[in-house]
Chain A
């Protein structure tokens, strides 16, 4: 299995935030969901990936090519969608096409008009008057009309209504039928990932906590429920974090097997959702990684 992207010890510091020694990879042919709380470093990572930020150290390779040396060749094969509109809003789709199409060698007008039709977007109206959903459709339209191998999306579903969100996810699903394609998308709506993500990369306070297969993740992690008597200083250490109530505790474990060995049948272990994993990790500020 090859990697489309490799981050090797990438560091980027800002005044009050830093991405510290980040290393992870994105597998070719799969959808990788990129999750993390607001301000965890999702957008910074995506900007580094797109070469919009200058890294302080480390290196990033995309399609096996060094990002700095082959910027243009790499971008040729990438489609991008950002959460905020970054297109000139006084222009129409028709005018934007005139500008953007000649920049891609592999621009495909058939694809462009096919999706334009499918999304039923007005071609001649300035995009200033578009709704948020229309703007997102337009961004996707421009992202996929040059038939990219790798699609990067920064929060493509945030701020969209459920119906439209589902539509976007279905479209991504359709794109993924071609097994050569790779999608990397960040979101804080973890239920989106239940539908399509094969891999999950989790960033927390500027550090990658894990990057692994979703199924594997959901079998390793578990929500543990039991009576408060079971908790003492030693056993509490076994959990990522714990939420105690009068009737008992609920906690997240990052190693279901070990928890079973310690507590046996005294606790109930349930399959966690991605949201559970995010919530407890944020709460517990854990430092261990798998």
Chain B
């Protein structure tokens, strides 16, 4: 398992440099860390998935003494590790920017921001991997595009349909504290992540190479 995760980071060593640069850029532009973290996560997870598909590596990996379950699990664990890496990195940047450039109000990013960033990465992973391992890289690109556009369109439609009810929704949400909402969000994302993990294992175990 250690080797499999190491492999993803070795494969993406250039990508990691690029991501570090991007997070720095986000900080220079004084964006909230949540964007930096989730964007870096999308980049990492989608590249970690697609390079496997592009090279013939499924054949090699499955000829080695490892189970298909471990191959998939390493991808999900890799996403979590990357999330932690991105959080550390963006905290580091904020510290640097605060003390060296005097740019932010506080030395550390807000925990909420970091947590939401992490949740975004997990959410993206949960959607991306089952699709990738079911349909392959080529179709996944198309499908994720459709999903992205779909979310925007659906959002617009919902906004239109719920126009009159927005205040009542706001009222409903304001009953809860931010922590409560975040906690609920974390639990739902966590469950979704586990479910997706199990699903992808099932998909991969049934696959022919």
Minimum Cβ distance to chain B for residue A9 (Å): 19
Which chain A positions have C-beta within 8 A of B60? 86-87
Question: Which residues on the B side are within 8 Å of A194 (C-beta)?
Answer: none
Contact of A99 among B3, B67, B207 (CB under 8 A): B3
Q: Tell whether A239 is near chain B: CB-to-CB under 8 Å.
A: no
Tell which of B5-13, B33-41, B123-131, B180-188 binds the partner: B5-13
A86 CA / B59 CA spacing, docked (Å): 7
* Contact, CB under 8 Å: B67 / A71: yes
0/1 string, A13-51, CB within 8 A of B gives 1: 000000000000000000000000000000000010011
**Is A80 a contact of B55 with CB atoms below 8 Å?**
no
A88–B63 contact, CB under 8 A? no
Q: How many chain A residues touch B (Cβ–Cβ < 8 Å)?
A: 30
CA distance A178 to B207 in the complex (A): 36
Residues of B within 8 A of A249 (CB): none
**Contact between B63 and A52, CB atoms less than 8 A apart:** yes
Identify the stretch in A90-98, A116-124, A213-221 within 8 Å (CB) of chain B at 4 or more residues: A90-98
A57 to chain B, nearest CB (A): 15
On whether the beta carbons of A84 and B56 are closer than 8 Å, the reply is yes
Which residues on the B side are within 8 Å of A85 (C-beta)?
Answer: 56
A51 to B66: give the CA distance in the assembly, Å: 12
> Which of the four size classes fits the interface of chain B?
20 to 34
The distance in angstroms between the C-alpha atoms of A98 and B5, with both chains bound, is: 12
Q: What residue in chain B is nearest A51 (Cβ atoms)?
A: B62
CA distance A47 to B62 in the complex (A): 10
B208 sits at the interface (CB 8 A): yes
Are A88 and B51 in contact (CB-based, < 8 A)?
A: yes
**Is the beta-carbon distance between A103 and B65 smaller than 8 angstroms?**
yes
Interface residues in B178-209 (C-beta closer than 8 Å to A): 206-209
Chain A 61-81, CB-CB to B under 8 Å as 1, else 0, gives 000000000011111101010
Measured between beta carbons, the chain A residues less than 8 angstroms from B169 are none
Contacts of B66 in A (CB 8 A): 72, 75, 103
**Neighbouring B residues of A89 by C-beta, 8 Å:** 55
Residues of A within 8 A of B6 (CB): 98-99
B7, B11, B64, B207, most chain A CB atoms within 10 A:
B64
Proximity string of chain B (1-27) to chain A, C-beta cutoff 8 Å, 1 when within and 0 when not: 011101100110000000000000000
Best-buried of B3, B63, B206 by chain A (most CB within 10 Å):
B63
**Partner-A contacts on B (CB < 8 A):** 2-4, 6-7, 10-11, 51, 55-57, 59-60, 62-67, 206-209
Question: Which A residues contact B (CB, under 8 angstroms)?
Answer: 47, 50-54, 71-76, 78, 80, 82, 84-91, 95, 98-100, 102-104
